[in-house]
Amino acid sequence: MTDTQDDWRTALTRIAHTERLLVALDFDGTLALLQDDPMSARALPESAAAVARIAALPDTVVAFVSGRSLPDLRVIAEHDDDSLVWLAGSHGVEYWRPAHAAVVEAEAAAAADDAQEEQLLRRLTDEAGQLVDGIEGAWIEKKTHGFAVHTRLTPRELAPGVQGVVDALVSREAPHWRRRSGHNLIEYSWRQEGKDAAVARLRADTGATAVLFAGDDVTDEDALASLEPHDLGVRVGPGETAASVRVQDAREFADLLAELADLRAS
C-alpha cells in the first residue's frame, strides 16, 4: 500500500456511484511521465486506455486540466476533434469541449489592456531568452498568455541563478503577473486564472455531482484545495498536498483509473 491518507480503492467505490461524475486530470506527471523535451510527453498506454473507457461511460465526463497552451495540450494528448475528452488549457484560460456537449459558452471577459499585455509578453519573452542564452540546459517556453523558464537540464548549481535573473526581470517589468513554480520550471502569466477556477467551471458546465481531480505538482494544489467534501483529490507522487489520497507515481495512477473504469461501468 502506498503512502496515502485514505486507501484509494475505498475512496473510488464511493465516488464511482455518484450520479454524474467529472474526472478532471492534470496531464504531465499524472497521465504522462515527465520528459526532458516537454512536447515529447504522451500518456502512458494504460492511462490512455482507462481514460477512453471512462469517457465513454454514461453520465461521466473526462477533462484534462493543464498549464499547457491549448494547441500544445492537444498535441501531447493526441487529441482530435472526435475526442470525448474536454480540455482546459493555460490553467483554465482556454477551453475545448466535444461538439455534442450541450452547454452555453461563458462570455470571455475582454480586458481593455489585453493588447498592451500581449505586447509586454512579446518583449519579456525575448528579454528572458537573452538572459538564459548560453546557459546549459536553460530555455524559455512561449505560452499563449505568458512564458516559462525551464531548468530541468541545467546543472543543479546554475538553476537558482537562472530562475533568479528571470524572476528579477518579471518583478521589475510586470509585477502584476502571476508566478507559478513547478517541476524544474517557473511560469509567468498576465492572466490570473488557476486550476481551481477551471475545475469550478467544468463542474458547472458538466452538471457534475462529484469531481475526481488528480495532479502531481504545486500548480495542482489550487484545484485540490478547492474540492468539496464529496469530491476526491488525488496527489500523484511526493509533496505537501491537500489531497485525501496519494499514489506513488503515474503508473500507479493508471491502476487507479483502470479500477475507476471498472467500478463506474458496473
What is the rounded distance in angstroms from the CA atom of residue 162 to the CA atom of residue 149?
A: 8
Mean pLDDT of 193-218: 96
What is the rounded distance in angstroms from the CA atom of residue 145 to the CA atom of residue 229?
A: 33
Cβ-contact 260, 13 below 8 angstroms: no
Its CATH class, for the domain covering 8-93+193-265, is: alpha beta
CB atoms within 10 A of CB 185: 19
Cβ-Cβ contacts under 8 Å for 266 (sequence gap 6 or more): none
Residue carrying the nine cell digits 512564458: 147
- Select from 206, 211, 177 the least CA-distant residue to 196: 211
| pLDDT reported for residue 105 | 47
Mean pLDDT of 128-139: 95
Average pLDDT, the chain: 92
What is the rounded distance in angstroms from the CA atom of residue 128 to the CA atom of residue 139?
A: 9
Length of the chain: 266
| pLDDT reported for residue 123 | 96
For the cut 60, the answer to whether the pLDDT of residue 5 exceeds it is no
Instruction: Give CATH for domain 114-189.
Output: 3.30.70
For 88-116, write each residue's pLDDT tens digit. 999 999 999 998 875 544 444 444 568 89
What is the rounded distance in angstroms from the CA atom of residue 4 to the CA atom of residue 243?
A: 9
DSSP per position, 48-112: HHHHHHHHTSTTEEEEEE-SS-HHHHHHHTT--TT---EEEETTTTEEE--TT---PPPPPP--T
For 247-258, write each residue's pLDDT tens digit. 999 999 999 999
The residue type found at 39 is M
pTM of the complete model:
0.83
Q: How far is the CA of 44 from the CAs of 27, 29, 217, 232, in angstroms?
A: 10, 10, 18, 22
For the cut 50, the answer to whether the pLDDT of residue 153 exceeds it is yes
**What is the bridge-based pairing of β-strands 178-182 and 185-189?**
antiparallel
First vs last C-alpha separation in the chain: 24
Beta bridge partners of 140: 149
What is the rounded distance in angstroms from the CA atom of residue 91 to the CA atom of residue 191?
A: 9
Q: Where in the chain are the domains?
A: 8-93+193-265, 114-189
What is the rounded distance in angstroms from the CA atom of residue 26 to the CA atom of residue 89?
A: 10
The residue type found at 108 is A
